[in-house]
Amino acid sequence: MLLASLRAQVLAANQEISRRGLAPHTFGNASGIDRSGAQPLVVIKPSGVDYATMTAEDLVVTDLDGNIVEGKLRPSSDLDTHTLLYREFPQIGGVVHTHSEFATSWAQAGREIPCLGTTHADYFHGPVPATRPLTAQEVDEAYVRNTGAVIASHFRTFDLDPLAVPGALVAGHAPFTWGKTALAAVEAADVLEYIARLAFRSILLGASENGIPTYVSEHHYQRKHGPKATYGQA
């Protein structure tokens, strides 16, 4: 069996999506990539398979063009989004897609999530971006691939660092998150749902969508992720 260690991590990541309540039914998926060989290989959840019964052997291994290298089941229908993000963001090692309730609500509204507090600032360097809607031509030509393409295009246009902003909301659809590993991508998805819920409630309570002052959000982000970070253990 190819990539046993990565398979184990990707299986755990998919199970965490379910355990944390980020995807009802089988509405989510996680993948990881091995870039160590001559040909990068992706391990991804099979389409429509229940998290509770899924095994490491059920996971599908593909190349970055989506060709199946190992596996008896069909890969996730979101495979082309995952592979495009791996091509566009070479610094990432895991991708997660969910339909978590509050983050998906912001995505369906086509609205970025403003940084309203330090909880947000600890994890996302600035607002959580929302992409533009896909055009009819993009949907007809290659819907899944172009879902990834609009994310990558937004990050290029606004010069965003994928590791500093570990997720995006696809307009009218749902969130995608990523990280250095598949499990890190699940953590980003979990945090994104939490701050999406906080932002929704904060705005209902009258918070300004201008957010907290930049000097506060920048201080919080840098103390956790900057070169002189003080959060956690050395």
Active site residues: 122, 231
Residue written as tokens 């953590």? Answer: 187
The alpha carbon torsion through 118, 121, 127, 128 (nearest 10 deg) reads: -110
Q: Which ranges constitute the DSSP H helices of the chain?
A: 4-19, 79-88, 101-109, 118-121, 136-157, 182-204, 214-225
Q: What is the C-alpha separation between 89 and 86, in angstroms, rounded? A: 5
Give the containing element (helix H, strand E) for 20: none
Q: What is the C-alpha separation between 51 and 137, in angstroms, rounded? A: 34
Q: What is the C-alpha separation between 88 and 91, in angstroms, rounded? A: 9
Helix (H/G/I), strand (E/B), else coil: 56: helix
Q: Which two tokens stand for residue 201?
A: 């409630």
At 109, which amino acid appears? A
